[in-house]
Structures are given as C-alpha cells and as structure tokens.
Amino acid sequence: MNSTDILKRVRKIEIKTRGLSSDIFAGQYHSAFKGRGMAFSEVREYQFGDDVRDIDWNVTARFHRPYVKVFEEERELTVMLLVDMSGSLDFGTVCQTKRDMAAEIAATLAFSAIQNNDKIGAVFFSDKIEKYIPPKKGRKHILYLIREMLDFRPESRRTDIGQAVAFLTQVMKRRCTAFLLSDFYVRNDFTQELTVCNRKHDIVAIQVYDPRAKQLPDVGLMKIHDAETGHEMIIDTASSKLRKAHEAYWIKREHELRDSFAKSQVDSISVSTAEDYVKPLMRLFQMRA
C-alpha cells in the first residue's frame, strides 16, 4: 500500500471515528473511565455541613476564620492502546480484516480520549514488543497512531500477550487506562501477567474475531493457512463432524478466555468483523459507568 492510499484510509477512519466519538460517546467515555483521583482546587470559608477534616489550619489561623480545602476530580487520564500486530489479525472473510476493525476501534477510543484532554499512546506487539509510542495529546498525534496501525509491518507473525502486558506494567510508572486489542489467538497463558498489570493499571480487553472462527461454512474442500506459523492443510468442510469439532474448539477457547479475564478482574467485550462495533463499545461504557 502506497503513502497516498494510507493517507486516504487514515482520513476515512478519522471522519467516521471522530463523528462517533463526539456524537455517540461524548458523555459515555467520561463516566466510564475515571481520573486518578481528587486534586486540590482552592480554599473557601467554612460552611455548615463541611467536613472538619478538610479545614486548612494555616489559612484559618491567618484569617482567624475557618477555611476548608476544596477538591475536584483530577480528570486527565493517560490512555494506552495495546494493539496485537501478529499475523492472525490479517484474516477477514466479511467486510474487513480483524486488523482494520481493531484500527477503527482504537481510533474511536483515541478521539474519545482527546475530547477529554487525555494523553494517548500505544504499544504494538507480536510475540515481542514491536513498537512503543509514548503518550501525547492532540489530533496530529492520533493521526500518526492511526497511520502507524494501518501501515506497520511487524518483524514477527506470532503472539505473546503476557509479554505485552508485562511491558506495560514496567514502562508506565503512573496508573493508566489500557485497551488491549487482539483476537487472543494465543498458545501461552497470560493470566498472571494480566492480573499483575491490572492491579497497577486499568486494563480493558477488546476481542476482535471473524465469524468463521466460530462456524465453518459447508463448502467442501478448503485450504487453510496458519498466518502465524505458516502451516497449511486441506480440510473437508462438508463433514458435519469436522464443523462440530471446530465450533466446540471455539467454545472451549472462549470459556478459557473469559475465565482468564474473570480471574484478572479485567472488563472485556467481543466484537465480530461482521457487526458494527458501536453497540459493543456502548455496552462496555455502560458496564463501567
């Protein structure tokens, strides 16, 4: 893909996701993701009903009247996007690949973040850390993130989510909100790393999947290719036994994944490339409000 095509795609995503961020998610994002706590704002004279623990004794002594400290929510967040760049994200049988949908969701979250004056950064990962983009503010920075997500070519095709969240634990010194975007096609358990990371930060998992991962069509012989290992084989989708085994495997994987999120106390949603991601995101925001 040349630079002109990339810029066109970036612009298209910006138009769509900025509109969603301002029109649909305006208040939802703010209430779903809280700031770091309460920050000192000002002092004012004591009023009946104020908490005596908020009295500023230095100011009170100076003016010989009781004054209290006023606090307000410290809204500014640091938001990190942990984006899976492994080979399996290039798969898509409906309207778009999993990578394209993940990029759109990430862009929507990014524009929602800057509308709340939050910083946003990214970690691109495979089975290693491919690229770290420190958090910054502003539209120019977000357009850079989107362009990188669309055009980035990882050195590895495999996946290691545990390493990605462990990196976030180490590199981010202050608490942040992190969105982990992946299809979660992994061979290694990452529950421990995710649990440790979620104690320090606020992690939200967003699974992007293709409907063919759940159900195989009955189309006879089909050549399948593992994008991460390069392994190829021919399967007979006319076999109902094979199709049932494929669906059973999906169900088992999903149960294991939900169990991992539950143990780690991580909120999660699952989005199919065959559906609009707006409703699942709204559900996520409402879940956390």
Kindly report, residue by residue over 97-146, the tens digit of the pLDDT. 899 899 999 999 998 888 878 899 999 999 999 999 999 998 899 999 99
pLDDT tens sequence across 21-79: 776 666 677 667 765 454 455 688 888 888 888 888 988 898 888 988 876 555 568 99
d(CA 278, CA 285): 11
Indicate the pTM of the whole model: 0.80
CATH code 3.40.50.410 region(s) in the chain:
3-32+76-288
Q: How confident is the model at residue 231 (pLDDT cuts 50, 70, 90)?
A: confident
Mean pLDDT in residue range 143-158: 91
132: its two tokens? 């770290």
User: What does the pLDDT read at residue 167?
Assistant: 97
Res 11: pLDDT: 81
Least confident of 155-159, 164-168, 221-225: 221-225
Confidence of residue 165 (pLDDT cuts 50, 70, 90): very high
Does the pLDDT at position 183 exceed 90? yes
* pLDDT score for 179: 97
CATH code, 3-32+76-288: 3.40.50.410
Please list, in sequence order, all residues whose beta carbon lies within 8 angstroms of the beta carbon of residue 105, skipping any fewer than 6 positions away. 181, 206, 208, 271, 277, 281
DSSP labels, the chain: --HHHHHHHHHHHHHHHHHHHHHTSHHHHHHHS--SEEEEEEEEE--TT--GGGB-HHHHHHHTS-EEEEEEEE---EEEEEEE-SGGGG--SSSS-HHHHHHHHHHHHHHHHHHTT-EEEEEEESSSEEEEEEEE-SHHHHHHHHHHHHH---S-----HHHHHHHHHHH--S--EEEEEE----SS--HHHHHHHHHHSEEEEEEEE-GGGT-----SEEEEE-TTT--EEEEETT-HHHHHHHHHHHHHHHHHHHHHHHHHT-EEEEEETTS-SHHHHHHHHHHH-
